[in-house]
Amino acid sequence: MSHNTIDYAERIRSQGFRLTPQRQLILDAVCEGDGHTSIDEIYERVHHKSPAINRSTVYRTLDFLREVNLVVDAEIGGHTVFEIANDHPHHHLVCQTCGVEIEISQESLAPSFAAIERESGFMVDSNHLVLAGLCEKCRGDIE
């Protein structure tokens, strides 16, 4: 996914912050992952372009980018991965056997989120959920 179609500098400024060179480098590194990318991959991309930026700066900046809703994260296979926030929240189905990822829309889960709220009073606030299971092919392999 390219972040070049959205004015992230303006989004940051509208929230009272500025897009520093470090923030831009880290945002670019997330974008270069073209989807889910690990902290190690982000750090390597940033470090290659600017060796002076250390891991703690990357971690702090990713926290900031999540807070201002420019980046989302998820746990996949026990690892935190990051991607550029989409204007349309989406979720992922990840096969525990082969690792295939299937993107699903917010609308697919909206009825489930509404049922959870009705039954428990708990309002789900998620725009990037990962559900683990078995894809159709892997299910067929074990049946």
Res 1: pLDDT: 42
Strand 79-84 with 37-38, pairing: antiparallel
Domains assigned to the chain: 8-84 (1.10.10.10), 90-142 (3.30.1490.190)
104's tokens: 């699903």
Contact between 65 and 103 (Cβ < 8 Å): no
Say which residue the tokens 């392999």 belong to: 141
How many whole angstroms separate alpha carbon 25 and alpha carbon 57? 11
Cβ-based neighbour number of residue 127 at 10 Å: 13
Over residues 55-104, the pLDDT tens digits come to 999 999 999 999 998 998 888 878 888 988 877 777 889 898 988 888 88
